[in-house]
Amino acid sequence: MSEYGEWIKVTIEDGIATIRLDRPKMNPIDADVQESLGRAAADIAADESVRVAIITGGDKVFAAGADIKEMQAFDYVDMVERAHLIQDAYRALAELPIPTIAAIEGYALGGGCELAMTCDFRVASKEATLGQPEILLGLIPGAGGTQRLVRLVGQSKAKDLVFSGRFVKADEALEIGLVDELVDAGTAYEAALERARTYAKMPRIALRFAKELINRSADVDLATGLATESQLFAGLFATKDREIGMASFVEHGPGKARFEGR
């Protein structure tokens, strides 16, 4: 296990990295947590043995948002210097070249909801509560909430959540696409781990290319996206895993390949 600051711990087992936020009682996200998340993301990105990453806050709460007591003391000049830091940390998580899964128990609010949205998938307890309540503080989301939320739930629903600051229960979060799967309370991490094991068996470079293409698809025109897809598709013919996958398919049928990650 590796520790990043006082509150972030990372474990790696069977190619699956778990980033655990453990700052009792509500896992508030302060400047130290932000910086630690960014460093953890950089190390995971550089570790070719890691195939999937899970972000969790534990069995009771994911993250209830920014550390308001810390933030209250900041003025405009402070935030000009600091606002980009949390975005940098969250961007590092969002751009990890591997599948990522948020395992959500309890509250995922404000910066906690934004942290969950950096992941490719969100597995939530049926008792989970999500939301972007920054408007109730006289603020707007500042760590991706006005951007990633739109891409998940659409403009109208994103405006409703951001304009009202209301909390969203798990069943509504699933209905609008804010989460991908609901599970019994206390089992979100195990469900995320089960999903992670599936992705961990897949060819590493192909997964990286697929994630990159899908993430970029909303930001480029169709012709550009298709051209890039064609180039990366062809590039995979230089990988060992492509040889393994095709040989296994011909000899044993689909789904039997044991990829090497190269």
Greatest alpha-carbon span in the chain: 65
Active site residue 175: no
Rg (CA), the chain: 19
13, 95, 114, 229: which is the annotated catalytic residue?
Answer: 114
81, 134, 212, 229: which is the annotated catalytic residue?
Answer: 134
Neighbours of 206 (CB within 10 A): 18
- DSSP labels for 114-153? HHHHTSSEEEEETT-EEE-GGGGGT----SSTTTHHHHHH
Active site residue 105: no
List strand residue ranges (DSSP E) for the chain, in order: 2-4, 8-13, 16-21, 52-56, 100-104, 107-109, 121-125, 129-131, 167-169, 181-183
Q: What is the Cα–Cα distance from 68 to 75, expressed in whole angstroms?
A: 13
Residue 222: CA count within 13 A, CB half-sphere = 0
Nearest C-alpha neighbor of 110 from the set 68, 57, 55, 156: 68
Q: Which residues are catalytic?
A: 114, 134
